[in-house]
Structure 1
Amino acid sequence: MDLLDWHRDRLSARRLAVLVKHLPRDSALNRELHGEAANWSVTDHLLAAAVDHLAAANWMFACVNSDEGDQPDAPTPVPRPEYRDADEDGTEDGEGTGAGPGSPPSATAGGRPPSPSQLAQFFG
Structure 2
Amino acid sequence: MDLLDLYRGRLSWRRLRVIIRHLPADSALARELHGESADWSRTDRLLADLVDIGRLHMHTTVAVNLGKDQRHPWPAPQPVPRPWMAEPAPPPAARRASPAEIADTVAQAMDRPPRPYQPGG
Do the structures match in fold with TM over 0.5?
yes
Over aligned residue pairs, what C-alpha RMSD do you find?
1.8
The structure carrying a bigger helix percent of its residues is 1
Residue in structure 2 matched with residue 70 of structure 1 by the alignment: 71
AA at the equivalent of 1:22 = H
Larger Rg: 2
Residue in structure 2 matched with residue 81 of structure 1 by the alignment: 83
Residue in structure 2 matched with residue 47 of structure 1 by the alignment: 47
Note the C-alpha offset of 1:62.
2.3
1:58 aligns with 2:54: no
TM-score by length of 1: 0.60
TM-score by length of 2: 0.61
The runs of at least 4 consecutive aligned structure 1 residues that moved more than 4 Å come to none
Give the secondary-structure state (helix, strand or coil) at the position aligned to 1:58.
Answer: helix
Structure 1: segments with no counterpart, 5+ residues: 84-124
Higher relative contact order (CA 8 A, sep 6+): 1
How many residues align structurally? 83
The separation in 1 between residues aligned to 2:58 and 2:51, in whole angstroms, is: 11
Query: Deviation digits for residues 10-59 of structure 1, max 9, x if unmatched?
Result: 11111111111111111100001011221112211111111011101111
The separation in 2 between residues aligned to 1:25 and 1:56, in whole angstroms, is: 30
Give % identity.
54
Note the C-alpha offset of 1:81.
2.7
Structure 2: segments with no counterpart, 5+ residues: 86-121
